[in-house]
Amino acid sequence: MKNSDFITGKAPITKEEVRAISVSKMNLENAKLFVDIGSGTGSITVEVANKFQNISVISVEMEKSAYELTRKNIEKFKLTNVKQIYGEAPGFIKMNEKADAVFIGGSKDNLSDILEWTYENLVDEGVLVANFILLDNFYECKKKLEEIGFRDIEMIQISISKMEKLGKGSYFKPLNPVFVISAKK
């Protein structure tokens, strides 16, 4: 899905190239339940719910304006397999079964609790994918994943530049690098 497909505002959006890599790392083909923590504009929520219509998606966001953007994007794409939660993760998340995959796009100052909750609420072989732009959060996540017992921890940096006009010519304007961590329970 293109970034331009989404209703956007001040909330962050996971860019389409980063979204493609992050979603592919979750191996959702046979998944039943997916949780998106820190949904922002809802681009991960919407892409997963739209692409894998047999998956139940739980979308969690604590910022009111971002929650509303996610809601608008869910409505725009007429998705019926998404349950939206307004509140801070992990405390507000209630599930009847364990998740096959969890995506962390935002955690505020609650990353450690979210990672512990994720480990407890993933099926065996379940996948966690987390995106960061701040190195401090990236390193905190790596350390905590190792402490908790996640395995097959993979860390990549994605650097994307898009061609734009500049005077009579063109150049590649860089976007913020994104750090992607994936791990299995």
Domain containing residue 69: CATH number:
3.40.50.150
pTM score of the predicted model: 0.93
The total domain count for the chain is 1
Dump pLDDT digits (tens) for 65-96: 999 999 999 999 999 999 999 998 988 888 88
Range of the structural domain that residue 180 is part of: 3-184
pLDDT of residue 109: 86
- Per-residue pLDDT of 102-144, as tens digits, reads 999 988 889 999 999 999 999 999 999 999 999 999 999 999 9
Q: What is the DSSP string of the chain?
A: --GGGS---SS----HHHHHHHHHHT--TT-SEEEEES-TTSHHHHHHHHH-TTSEEEEEE-SHHHHHHHHHHHHHTT-SSEEEEES-TTTT---SS-EEEEEES--TT-HHHHHHHHHHHEEEEEEEEEEESSHHHHHHHHHHHHHHT-EEEEEEEE--EEEEEETTEEEEEEPPPEEEEEEE-
Is 59's pLDDT higher than 90?
A: yes
